[in-house]
């Protein structure tokens, strides 16, 4: 069983990082296949908190090779900061990290473009991006002529490519900055030298990764695919235009990593026990009231990357049934269940009323989603603190009833339950989901260009 995927089924921040860290105990390789430094994944282990953005959450384990595939847009400064942070805290990164030479590089102009264009939907609404240059970098990738891949930084003709691109970018920025604002100058020599420095620093990590991953799965090594964001932020299948710029649902695993779907033998859909969203776009079950405050405070719902407060609401089974199907989830991990304690009742959205019509399918048009009034099923809440639970038998009956109802509505078993940020605060409901150590990885050969 070589390929396991961990996919967020909501709008991101479902605690994918925690789950990936746990599951890497029985995987040799962890591959991050899309997104970039817009992601913020938190792992808590032995009271220590780790915040990772680009580097897969498997890096905290010794026997795991972490791969950042060509589907990722890579900000080298961000990657270097993360490597430095890990090494300064005693985590070995050398020989454990491989960065794809196919990954597209985020440059300062992408971040500037993100800042200028973020709010400029024709409706006047804002997507509320993370401002990390993700959309503009993916746009250049698809457009090709202004794209720079990690491997390009090492080419002898890189200076002339860079000069051509920065000239076009200067003209583009001049034309797109709002009237009256100061034009942001791009200092070509400075940026070039900076990126040459980054390239040297990252040289030992950069190389081919697609064949490496194919060799791994074909030789039977267990590979874990780590998604960033959540399926409802998928560029093609999410709540467009309030989405990110990559395929963040299960459909992105193969295109981002180069590993065909036939090798993916297990897909775990990760869900919060309620809904959150950071940035713009509809959140049908949003609770702008005491329930929303309860969830935000108990769940400490502030963005890992931008520190923005996350919007909170009840669990939405219409949206997550769609994203579970879209992502091919075989089973579900329900995270942050502890946050729902001390509520008299808990609600699950099981349908929408859109312009007077009741629907149970997630709509494709954003206006329909904006007009969707949730139809709720009400379940009894529980008062007990769940954070000390380690087995299913430690959970109150109402909490078990709640997760089983989620499983029923999504037609998939809930196999993992999380009741706190720490590795230990996890309940495995079947033996299959319990991670067991796998043989040490003997092939951590270093990749060089
Ligand atoms: P990711 O982006 O999907 O990896 O999720 P984030 O790390 O951005 O957000 C999840 C947050 O919830 C982090 O602060 C985690 O430490 C925290 N967390 C994870 N699991 C649990 C849980 O079961 N209960 C609580 N209360 N917090 C959790
Ligand atoms: P993780 O991996 C939550 C959201 C942004 C914005 C939209 C587009 O930690 O779950 P972008 O910068 O990608 O162009 O922003 O997507 N967003 C996330 N929300 N978690 C994330 O990542 C996110 N990455 C992007 O808030 O609404
Ligand atoms: Mg996050």
pLDDT tier, 334 (very low <50, low <70, confident <90, very high otherwise): very high
Closest residue CA from atom 19 of ligand 1: 421
pLDDT score recorded for residue 278: 95
pLDDT tier, 178 (very low <50, low <70, confident <90, very high otherwise): confident
Dihedral pair phi/psi, residue 146, rounded to 5°: -110, 20
36 pocket-lining for ligand 2 (C-beta < 6 Å): no
pLDDT score recorded for residue 183: 72
Q: In 3D, which of 67, 68, 61, 54 has the Cα closest to residue 24? A: 61
Closest residue CA from atom 11 of ligand 1: 15
pLDDT score recorded for residue 307: 86
Distance from the CA of 38 to the center of ligand 2, in angstroms?
6
Distance from the CA of 418 to the center of ligand 1, in angstroms?
9
Closest residue CA from atom 25 of ligand 1: 420
| Residue 164 annotated among the catalytic residues of the structure | no
Q: What percent of the chain has pLDDT over 70?
A: 95
Q: Which atom of ligand 2 is nearest to the CA of 14?
A: 10
From the CA of 310, the nearest ligand is 2
54 has a pLDDT exceeding 70: yes
| Residue 13 annotated among the catalytic residues of the structure | yes
pLDDT tier, 440 (very low <50, low <70, confident <90, very high otherwise): low
Pocket probe for ligand 1: among 421, 423, 424, the residue whose CB has the most ligand atoms within 8 Å is: 421
Q: Which atom of ligand 1 is nearest to the CA of 270?
A: 3
- Note the pLDDT tens digit of each residue in 192-216: 999 999 999 999 999 999 999 999 9
For residues 85-90, average pLDDT: 96
Q: Which atom of ligand 1 is nearest to the CA of 303?
A: 8
Distance from the CA of 274 to the center of ligand 1, in angstroms?
12
Per residue, the 3-state secondary structure of the chain, as one string, reads CCEEEEEECCCCCCCHHHHHHHHHHHCCEEEECCECCCCCEEEEECCEEEEECCCCHHHHCCCCEEEECCCEEECHHHHHHHHHHHHHCCCCCCCCEEEECCCEECCHHHHHHHHHHCCCCCCCCCCCCCCCCHHHHHHHHHHCCCCCEHHHHHCCCHHHHHHHHHHHHHHHHHHHCCCCCCCCCCCHHHHHHHHHHHHHHHHHHEECCHHHHHHHHHCCCCEEEECCCCHHHCCCCCCCCCCCCCCCCCCHHHHHHCCCHHHEEEEEEEEECCEEECCCCCCCCECCCHHHHHHHHHCCCECCCCCCECEEECEEHHHHHHHHHHCCCCEEEEECHHHHCCCCEEEEEEEEEECCEEECCCCCCHHHHHCCEEEEEEEECCCCCCCCCCCHHHCCHHHHHHHHHHHHHHCCCEEEEECCCECCCEEECCHHHCCCCCCCCCCCCCCCC
Q: In whole angstroms, what is the distance from residue 202 CA to residue 383 CA?
A: 50
From the CA of 17, the nearest ligand is 1
Residues in the ligand 1 pocket, defined by CB under 6 Å: 8, 12-18, 40-42, 44, 299, 304, 335-336, 338-339, 418-421, 425
pLDDT score recorded for residue 331: 97
- Note the pLDDT tens digit of each residue in 248-275: 999 999 999 999 999 999 999 999 999 9
92 has a pLDDT exceeding 80: yes
Q: In 3D, which of 62, 72, 69 has the Cα closest to residue 39? A: 72
57 has a pLDDT exceeding 70: yes
331 pocket-lining for ligand 2 (C-beta < 6 Å): no
Q: Which of 21, 27, 41, 110 is catalytic?
A: 41
Q: What is the CA radius of gyration of the chain?
A: 22
389 has a pLDDT exceeding 90: yes
Pocket probe for ligand 2: among 7, 12, 117, 125, the residue whose CB has the most ligand atoms within 8 Å is: 12
What's the chain's average pLDDT?
93
From the CA of 233, the nearest ligand is 2
115 pocket-lining for ligand 2 (C-beta < 6 Å): no
């Amino acid at each position: 069983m070589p390929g396991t995927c961990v996919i967020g089924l909501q709008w991101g921040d479902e605690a994918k990082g925690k789950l990936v860290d746990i599951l890497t105990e029985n995987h040799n390789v962890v591959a991050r296949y899309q997104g970039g430094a817009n992601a913020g994944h938190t792992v808590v282990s032995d009271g220590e908190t780790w915040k990772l953005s680009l580097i897969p959450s498997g890096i905290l384990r010794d026997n795991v090779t972490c791969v950042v595939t060509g589907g990722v847009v890579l900000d080298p400064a961000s990657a270097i900061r993360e490597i430095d942070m890990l090494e300064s805290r005693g985590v070995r990164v050398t020989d454990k990290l491989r960065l794809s030479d196919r990954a597209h590089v985020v440059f300062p102009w992408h971040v500037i473009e993100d800042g200028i264009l973020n709010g400029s939907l024709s409706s006047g609404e804002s997507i509320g991006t993370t401002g990390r240059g993700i959309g503009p970098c993916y746009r250049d990738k698809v457009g090709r002529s202004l794209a720079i891949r990690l491997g390009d930084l090492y080419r002898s003709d890189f200076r002339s490519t860079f000069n051509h691109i920065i000239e076009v970018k200067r003209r583009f920025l001049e034309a797109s900055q709002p009237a009256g604002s100061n034009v942001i100058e791009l200092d070509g020599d400075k940026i070039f030298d900076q990126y040459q420095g980054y390239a040297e620093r990252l040289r030992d990590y950069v190389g081919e990764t697609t064949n490496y991953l194919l060799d791994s799965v074909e030789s039977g090594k267990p590979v874990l695919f780590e998604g960033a964001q959540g399926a409802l932020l998928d560029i093609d299948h999410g709540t467009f235009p309030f989405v990110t710029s990559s395929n963040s649902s299960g459909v992105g695993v193969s295109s981002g990593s180069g590993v065909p779907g036939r090798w993916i033998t297990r897909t775990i859909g990760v869900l919060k026990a309620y809904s959150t969203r950071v940035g713009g776009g509809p959140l049908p079950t949003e609770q702008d009231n005491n329930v929303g405050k309860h969830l935000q405070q108990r769940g400490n719902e502030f963005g890992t990357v931008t520190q923005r407060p996350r919007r909170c609401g009840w669990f939405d089974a219409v949206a997550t049934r769609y994203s579970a199907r879209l992502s091919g989830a075989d089973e579900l991990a329900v995270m942050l269940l502890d946050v729902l304690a001390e509520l008299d009742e808990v609600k699950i959205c099981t349908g929408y009323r859109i312009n007077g019509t009741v629907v149970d399918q997630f709509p494709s048009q954003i206006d329909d989603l904006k007009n969707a009034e949730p139809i709720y099923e009400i379940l009894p809440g529980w008062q007990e603190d769940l954070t000390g639970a380690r087995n299913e038998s430690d959970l109150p009956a109402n909490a078990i009833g709640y997760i089983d109802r989620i499983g029923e509505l999504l037609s998939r078993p809930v196999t993992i339950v999380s009741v706190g940020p720490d590795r230990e605060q996890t309940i495995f409901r079947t033996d299959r989901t319990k991670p067991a150590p796998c043989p040490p990885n003997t092939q951590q050969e270093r990749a060089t260009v």
